[in-house]
């Protein structure tokens, strides 16, 4: 199995297990799921980028989109607290 296939399989299993765990403990906020998935994605990219730099370059735009989504969620939460 190639490194990219291993990465996709690892990430899919990680998302599945964390989603089931969060659902099992009763988390209902979408922000929590998004934050956990973002952390898992960044950790998986960091791990794989150690072995293959080209994969990190290809996933750079996806990382930026995820981080912009995270900034949006944090800004919404701050506005909610301030109002």
* pLDDT tens per residue across all 83 residues of the chain: 777 787 788 889 999 999 999 999 999 988 899 999 999 988 888 887 777 777 777 778 888 998 999 999 999 989 999 98
Q: How far apart are CA 28 and CA 8, in angstroms?
A: 26
Q: How far apart are CA 17 and CA 1, in angstroms?
A: 22
Q: Which domain holds residue 34?
A: 3-82
Count of structural domains, the chain: 1
Tokens standing for residue 47? 């791990």
Q: How far apart are CA 31 and CA 74, in angstroms?
A: 9
9: Cβ contacts below 8 Å, ≥ 6 apart = 1
The predicted model scores a pTM of 0.77
Other Cβ atoms less than 10 A from the Cβ of 55: the count is 15
């Amino acid at each position: 199995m190639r490194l990219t296939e291993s990465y996709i399989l690892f990430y899919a299993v990680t998302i599945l297990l964390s989603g089931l765990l969060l659902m099992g403990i009763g988390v209902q906020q979408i922000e929590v799921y998004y934050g956990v998935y973002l952390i898992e994605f960044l950790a998986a990219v960091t791990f794989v980028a150690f072995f293959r730099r080209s994969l990190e370059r290809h996933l750079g735009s996806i990382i930026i989109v995820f981080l912009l989504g995270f900034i949006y969620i944090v800004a919404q939460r701050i506005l909610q607290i301030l109002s």
